């Protein structure tokens, strides 16, 4: 018995070898992608030094060496057939709150500052389907000799492209803890971006792990930070049945507890 226990299990060795191989392969792929990005944009190392983090990395971008300040009274200007969409206006208010989440700012205008974001949406079609055009362009331009007011302009074919542009703009805005104000470094910026994949999803399995409605809403909101566009809500399975089905009222007795359930109203609120 002692000899048997000392003998290595071939299956364990195979698993170890496979694990090492996968780790090396993944490391090589990540290193190769990093080199590829660096050569494609010729600016990755400079981005790290500028404390500017864009995620996901845009398809195309250029930047300079200037610094802009962002006015706490940042306002929205709209244009195009879909510019007046409530989706765009609500999104701007959400991102404005994110940009200035540190509270009141000791705003001292720099040589040039941004006080307005202009969003141009060409289509008024707000239907979201797989394959909806989410491309956009973002220009953050420095001021010229005639004005100290810089410019931030987002142009998109759909409101959902405009949302991606607002996300990128918010990522460019950095809080300066010394001056207690918002800056955009490495200006001017020119970004042209589009999703590499039409389906960019997140799976949420509440049949195995219950999440309160408020937490699910926070997860949905956080998906926008990574520009994800599909939520796969796996509500029920053999493990539990937390969803109310009026036709079969006994089904949701399969929930973990009576406090870990979703009513019809809950589901409707989350989906909307």
Q: What is the pLDDT of residues 182-213, one digit of tens each?
A: 999 999 999 999 999 999 999 999 999 999 99
Does the pLDDT value for residue 14 go beyond 90?
no
- For residue 16, pLDDT over 60 is answered with no
- Per-residue confidence band for 233, with pLDDT thresholds at 50, 70 and 90: very high
As a whole number, mean pLDDT of residues 131-136 equals 96
Residue 89 has pLDDT above 70, yes or no: yes
Nearest Cα to Cα of residue 126 among 174, 78, 82: 82
In DSSP notation, the chain reads -HHHHHSPPHHHHHHHHHHHHHHHHHHHHHHHHHHHHHHHHS-HHHHHHTT---SSPPSEEE--SEEEEEEEEEEEEEESTTTT-HHHHHHHHHHHHHHTTT-S------SSEEEEEEEEE--------TT----EEEEEEPP-TT-SB-EEEEEESSHHHHHHHHHHHHHHEEEETTTTEEEEEEESEEEEE--S-S--EEEEETTTS---HHHHHHHHHHHGGGT--EEEEE---SS---B--TTSTTGGGGSSSTTS-B-HHHHHHHH-
Q: Residue 142: its pLDDT value, please?
A: 78
- Asked whether the predicted pLDDT for residue 87 surpasses 90, the reply is yes
The mean pLDDT of the chain is 82
Q: Is the pLDDT of residue 219 over 80?
A: yes
Q: What would the pLDDT profile of 249-268 be if each residue is shown by its tens digit? A: 999 999 999 999 999 999 99
The tokens of 114 are what? 């941004």
Q: What's the pLDDT score for residue 33?
A: 37
The structure tokens listed for 170 are 């918010």
Confidence of residue 272 (pLDDT cuts 50, 70, 90): confident
**Could you give the C-alpha distances from 115 to 61, 149, 183, in angstroms and in order?**
23, 7, 12
Task: Give CA–CA dist 166/161, Å, rounded.
Answer: 9
Out of 25-29, 82-86, 112-116, 147-151, which region has the weakest mean confidence (pLDDT)?
25-29
Confidence band (pLDDT; 50, 70, 90) for 109?
A: low
- How does pLDDT run across 24-75, given as a tens digit for each residue? 333 333 333 333 333 344 445 455 555 568 999 999 999 999 999 999 999 9
Listed range (18-32, 113-127, 142-156, 164-178) with the worst mean pLDDT: 18-32
Q: What is the mean pLDDT of residues 145-161?
A: 83
Q: 154, 116 in Cβ contact below 8 A?
A: no
Residue 3 or 92, more confident: 92
* Among 139, 167, 168, CA closest to 155: 139
């Amino acid at each position: 018995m002692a000899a048997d226990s000392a003998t290595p299990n071939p299956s364990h060795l195979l698993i170890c070898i496979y694990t090492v191989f996968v780790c090396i392969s993944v490391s090589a792929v990540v290193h190769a992608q990093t080199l590829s990005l660096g050569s494609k944009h010729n600016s990755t190392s400079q981005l790290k030094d500028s404390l500017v983090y864009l995620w996901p990395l845009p398809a195309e971008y250029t930047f300079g060496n200037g610094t802009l300040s962002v006015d706490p009274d940042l306002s929205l200007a709209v244009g195009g057939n879909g510019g007046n969409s409530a989706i765009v206006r609500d999104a701007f208010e959400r991102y404005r709150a994110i940009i200035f989440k540190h509270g009141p700012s000791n705003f001292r205008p720099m040589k040039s500052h941004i006080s307005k974001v202009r969003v141009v949406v060409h289509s008024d079609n707000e239907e979201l389907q797989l394959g909806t055009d989410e491309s956009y362009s973002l220009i953050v331009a420095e001021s010229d000799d005639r004005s100290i007011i810089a410019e931030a302009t987002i142009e998109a074919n759909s409101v959902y492209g405009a949302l991606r542009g607002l996300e990128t703009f918010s990522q460019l805005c950095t809080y300066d803890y010394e001056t207690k104000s918002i800056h955009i470094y490495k200006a001017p910026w020119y970004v042209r971006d589009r999703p590499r994949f039409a389906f960019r999803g997140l799976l949420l399995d509440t049949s195995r792990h219950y999440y309160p409605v408020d937490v699910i809403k926070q997860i949905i909101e956080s998906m926008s930070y990574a520009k994800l566009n599909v939520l796969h809500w796996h509500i029920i399975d053999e493990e539990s049945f937390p969803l109310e089905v009026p036709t079969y009222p006994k089904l949701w007795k399969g929930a973990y507890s009576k406090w870990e359930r979703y009513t019809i109203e809950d589901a409707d609120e989350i989906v909307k």
